[in-house]
């Protein structure tokens, strides 16, 4: 719930905001990949501490108030590269809040599951996080 409520922190320049949000998503993707490799695909042996650490990153990023990284004027422009955000992100506040809240819950549930070491629970929670990422991308990120 933090993620939306914290837009009132110091105003970040649009190009920095775009860079930071691209950074946050990219770093989550790395950590999702590690959990997928260990718990879903089995491509890498399961290591409880590594999966818990990866899930902690995703939860911490989800709880970090990324709403503040969408200041006015950041609908266009370049951070690490040209932004892919859709204009709808800035006009559909209710829809964005909905996907953000469900992502936030899924991310914190994944961290809780990862801390237990129950691989079945982790796999299920991972699936929910993946759906929440996708739900946002389908509506608010250009291809």
100 binds, among ligand HEC, its own copies, none (CB under 5 to 8 A by kind): ligand HEC
Counting contacts by CB under 6 A, is residue 28 touching ligand HEC? yes
Q: Give the orientation angle of helix 48-62 with respect to helix 14-35, to 10 degrees.
A: 150
Binding residue count for its own copies, defined by CB under 8 A: 38
Burial 71-104 (b: 16+ CB within 10 A, else e): beebbeeebeeebebeeebbeeeeebeebbebbb
30 touches 94 (CB < 8 A): no
SS3 state of residue 55: helix
Region 15-34 residues binding its own copies, contact defined as CB under 8 A: 16, 19-20, 22-24, 26-27, 29-31, 33-34
Q: Select from 59, 68, 85, 125 the one that contacts ligand HEC (CB under 6 A).
A: 85
Counting contacts by CB under 8 A, is residue 37 touching its own copies? yes
CB of 118 to ligand HEC, least distance (A): 20
Q: Select from 34, 48, 98, 137 the one that contacts ligand HEC (CB under 6 A).
A: 137
């Amino acid at each position: 719930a933090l993620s939306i409520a914290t837009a009132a922190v110091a105003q970040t320049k649009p190009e920095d905001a775009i860079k930071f949000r691209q950074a946050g998503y990219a770093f989550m993707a790395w950590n999702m990949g590690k959990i997928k490799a260990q718990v879903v695909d089995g491509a890498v042996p399961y290591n409880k501490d590594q999966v818990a650490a990866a899930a902690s990153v995703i939860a911490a990023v989800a709880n970090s108030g990324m709403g503040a990284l969408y200041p006015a004027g950041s609908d266009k422009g370049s951070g690490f590269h040209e932004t892919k955000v859709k204009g709808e992100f800035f006009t559909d506040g209710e829809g964005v809040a909905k996907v953000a809240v469900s992502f936030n819950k899924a991310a914190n549930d994944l961290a809780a599951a990862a801390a237990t070491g129950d691989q079945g629970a982790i796999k299920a929670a991972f699936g929910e996080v993946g759906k929440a990422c996708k739900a946002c991308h389908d509506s608010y990120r250009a291809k």
